[in-house]
Structure 1
Amino acid sequence: MNTAVPLDAQSRRALLQRISDILLRPAPTWLRIDAEGTSAAQLYKNYLIYLAAIPALASFIGMSLVGVGAFGMRLRVPIAAGLVNLLVGYVLTLVMVYVMALIANALAPRFQGRRDMPSALKLVAYGATAGLLAGALGIVPALGMLAAVGGLYSIYLIYLGAPVLMKVPRERAVAYTAVLLLCGAVAGMLVGWLTALATPGAGLGQRGAATLRLPGTDIRIDAHSVGQASRRLQEAQREGDGGAATRAATDAIGAMLGARIDTGQMDQASRQLEQARARGDSEAAAEAAGSMVSAALGGKGLPPLSAQQLRAVTPEQFAGLPRTAIKAETNNVMGMAFTQVDARYSQQRQQVQLRLKDLGAAPALAMGMASWASSTSESEDEREIERSYKKAGVAFREKYRKDGSRSELSILLPTRVVLEASGSLPIDELKQALQPVVQQTTALARPPA
């Protein structure tokens, strides 16, 4: 990856200023970008090759050097495989930016916009900024789900930029953005297949889902849901009903991402942010920025459960094993609180890890965390069985060895709390031991808003 050359001080300042402007002042920044005569080579050389490296490097550090686990036990991707993933992910991110730009350019006339490939490339490249930066969260694998925040905000940036760069009428910008994502999903499937060919083992156990690569972020998509959303949008367009088409478009985004993007709220918050910055009111600017994130995440979330509440339902014993370690914490990220408890149970050679995560503060993350929540799947080989299903409003995902030596179970409750248990127990024992925890967690009352 020697494509990138060191930036001098002036170029570095220009890069950081552009990142800041597109994230914090998107509306006027799109107008300036439209007036710039930036070539594709300049855009890649001075911008994309640096930002595309962020998620690739972060993922390598997080998965191969930091690893996934708790209480000192870590699972890491081998360095050699991690380097392959890094290189492939970096190159394919750069490729997908151009592929998405080709799609954006081809779609524009269908929505009363213009064909202009340089503008389409600027729309996708600069619109991807939030998603690419959010890829830095991959350094801490446990925070990887928060990268969805950047992906959702990138969608909003593209929605804002489409009328300026592609001259799509404002009232058709939502539909244009949604169709761009739907077409990108198809391109993402091809990229996923290429990645699987280049990185053995990728994609195993993910039947029925495709990876949409909004440049800089990975979003799991149910291919069936995408097909249904696409047909609904096409029908609305054929009927010539602009309002119905817009509603179908936002529903299409919801079908893909698990949450509706409140563009009206984001527009209002964006204006409030610009006004607050003009007044020099940092407190109001921070509040407006929080409102923008809230809209991107599917609206206002639920009040978070406290660390004490989740710790209280974490048992002293689990499947007859004593609890040997526990950690409970609430982290505030961009104005949202996420509570998590990790517990370890062990005796002699048996060990179980239990995790409780409250995702109620962000509806979109709760849905994104459970991409398996709305689908049913099952796979089996000579050693393991893996299945996803939904029962009585509760989503389950289980994976276990046939000899009973190891099992993993994830449960998404209607209250937006995720329970995860894994260890050296048969799956039936894991389920039985988790039942009291499920009941007590479901009964928890959230504090008043």
Structure 2
Amino acid sequence: MNLIERAKSILLQPKEAWATIDAEVTDTATLFTRYAMILAAIPAVCGFIGMSLIGFGGFGVTIRVQFVSGLVNMVVSYGLSLVGLLVLGFIIDGLAPTFGGQKNAIRAQKVAVYASTAALLGGIFSLLPSLAMLGLLAAAYSIYLLYTGLPVLMRSAPEKSVGYTVVVIIAAIVMGVVIGAVSALFMPRSGALFGGADAPAITMNTPGGKVSIDTAGLEAAGKKMEEAARKMEEAQKSQDPAAIAAATGDAAKAAAGVLGGGQAIAAQSLKAALPEKLAGLPRTGFDVQDGAALGLPTSQASAQYGNDDKQLRLEIVDVGGLGQMAVMAMGMVQGEKEDQTSAEKTWQEGGRTLHQRYDKDGSHAEFKTILKNGLVVSIEGDKIGVKELRGLMSQVDLNGLEGLQRKGKS
């Protein structure tokens, strides 16, 4: 199955495409590794770029989601979207007899994955928040794809297709609300300021170079997704809430295996890179956290430095092997932007992505670097120049951080 050709056919000739899909022999792992996992990265990465890097607003005012918050949200939303597709497949399968159809787990998963094509591709509009409404139109077309696919794959009665579609959409909306609420639980607190050895199967070209997705990582993640799907099906049959919760967690952990997967670097290792002094200022406090948003790996270490006249904050964040998504996202938006009050720039240097932003009145500045292994190191402060902040990066052992190794997928 060629991903591009399949996407084109399901969008432009859905009825013919559904007949072809119905005849194909596949499994959950293949559906996810060769299709869903790739397309699901589009809304996650583009949403991060649009909300945290480009920003939204008007009348000379630009609002951005804090960088680290946006980065974590990208990872969490990506993993949960894959879990959502799994759950949607179970909903479609469970409702089939009610509408004169036949239960079949793999056919239901096909409908869930391929009907979502338009909505996932529509995530490209998230690059510019002002165009986000076009993404809703794309999502609306996915409703039509669902409507045309249910009678073909689930063998539902044609006269009941509308009702079947409506009930599935209502269930999907409820599921989306729940996923959104769960995602919000794992966002950084409001006080925060910000692979394998096989040849890669997928390479994405960005202005900063190529980002490769490991074949072995994808296949391993897909197999775990398939195993998680089996456990969810068993839990659903038993109606055991604890088993359902555990199976959902396993699915999210499997999703974290995409794009390299692996655990996040231990927060204590990140803490070791926080100097006792920065710009001659003493360290006044620090915050170290190891977290796992439904199994999605995250860790961070931050420190505050200052005196009565100047305050600085240094933060190091890791989102596991999914840091490759951060490398890819930042590589896509190199350039400069300036207005009457502020200026910013994103560029590549020595294989790393650098980003700086400052207010022209000297009130605030920030400087970030994304290392080759996906770690994000950022320094920000008030009443300090961006050139001085960049110089302070030399006081952080970036080479040592870049050399830290993550543990493999468990």
* TM-score of the aligned structures, taking structure 1 as reference length: 0.48
1:112 corresponds to which residue? 18
SS at match of 2:331: coil
> Residue 276 of structure 2 is aligned with which of 311, 316, 327?
316
SS at match of 1:326: strand
**Does residue 357 of structure 2 align to residue 399 of structure 1?**
yes
Distance change in 2, residues 1:324/1:429 (3 Å): same
Number of equivalences:
275
> Residue 370 of structure 2 is aligned with which of 406, 412, 430?
412
> Residue 333 of structure 1 is aligned with which of 271, 293, 296?
293
Letter in 2 for 1:308: Q
> Residue 390 of structure 2 is aligned with which of 413, 428, 431?
431
> Residue 266 of structure 1 is aligned with which of 225, 235, 245?
225
> Residue 152 of structure 1 is aligned with which of 79, 82, 85?
82
* Structure 2: distance between partners of 1:368 and 1:302: 15
Shift of 1:396: 2.1
Shift of 1:441: 1.8
Which whole-Å deviations, capped at 9, do the CAs of 1:57-103 have from their partners, x for residues lacking one?
Answer: xxxxxxxxxxxxxxxxxxxxxxxxxxxxxxxxxxxxxxxxxxxxxxx
CA contact (8 A) 1:373 1:396 kept: no
Shift of 1:410: 2.1
* Mapping of residues 111-150 of structure 1, within 5 Å: 111-112=17-18, 144-145=73-74, 146-150=76-80
* Mapping of residues 52-201 of structure 1, within 5 Å: 108-112=14-18, 144-145=73-74, 146-157=76-87, 176-177=114-115, 179-181=117-119, 183-185=121-123, 192-193=130-131
CA contact (8 A) 2:249 2:295 kept: yes
Shift of 1:373: 3.2
Distance change in 2, residues 1:177/1:324 (3 Å): same
Q: RCO (CA 8 Å, sep 6+): is it higher in 1 or 2?
A: 2
Distance change in 2, residues 1:271/1:156 (3 Å): closer
* Structure 2: distance between partners of 1:336 and 1:317: 32
Distance change in 2, residues 1:287/1:414 (3 Å): farther
* Stretches of structure 2 lacking an aligned partner (at least 5 in a row): 1-9, 21-39, 44-64, 135-174, 181-200
* TM-score of the aligned structures, taking structure 2 as reference length: 0.52
* Mapping of residues 192-211 of structure 1, within 5 Å: 192-193=130-131
CA contact (8 A) 2:277 2:305 kept: yes
CA contact (8 A) 1:399 1:408 kept: yes
Letter in 2 for 1:386: E
* Mapping of residues 336-375 of structure 1, within 5 Å: 336-360=296-320, 363=322, 367=325, 371-375=329-333
* Structure 2: distance between partners of 1:159 and 1:394: 40
CA contact (8 A) 1:111 1:176 kept: no
Shift of 1:397: 2.0
Distance change in 2, residues 1:170/1:274 (3 Å): closer
RMSD, aligned CA = 5.0
Q: Percent identity?
A: 23
